[in-house]
Amino acid sequence: MPSTLDLYQHPGHLLRRAQQISVSLFHDEMGGELTPVQYAILSRLAEHPGIDQVSLAGLAAIDTSTGATVCARLEEKGLLERKVIPHNRRQRALTITPAGTRLLAALEPGAQRLRDRLLAPLSAREQDVFMGLLAKLVNGNNDQSRAPLALPDAAGDK
């Protein structure tokens, strides 16, 4: 009989489980105002005011159709504004509203607790090593993603 890989030794399975745990802790610490994807979009927008939807989705490593849906929901909640870009009427420039800024500030302590709780089983040294290796794994496989992370270019026009 052929040998099979133990499911609990498969990185994909463990990453899926880690994501489940992370989402559960997210809701514990951040409440129900935002989903993890909405939080990612809003936090990236706070750092890149005036960005277009497609570029924002790239900064959050979210596919563009999901990004558009999330932005529409955040706009309905009064957390961001979308305005047509005059020189390219098919694109929308996004800005975070004062309510969005206040919400992000209110969620910041929860975001820190979420990070602390998620990494709590590891020592401080293990946390550093884990985060370094996790970033290396994600960045090294970025081009394999259906929604790869797209960093702004050096000219800063994204």
Task: State pLDDT tens for residues 108-148.
Answer: 999 999 999 999 999 999 999 999 999 999 999 888 888 88
Please report, for the chain, the start and end positions of each structural domain, with discontinuous segments joined by +. 10-143
pTM: 0.85
Average pLDDT of every residue of the chain = 90
pLDDT of the residue at 21: 97
Token couple for 95: 């800005």
Q: Which residues of 101-120 are buried (b: 16+ CB within 10 A; e: fewer)?
A: eebbeebeebeeebeeebee
d(CA 106, CA 126): 29
CA distance 104 to 99: 9
What's the topology of domain 10-143?
Arc Repressor Mutant, subunit A (1.10.10)
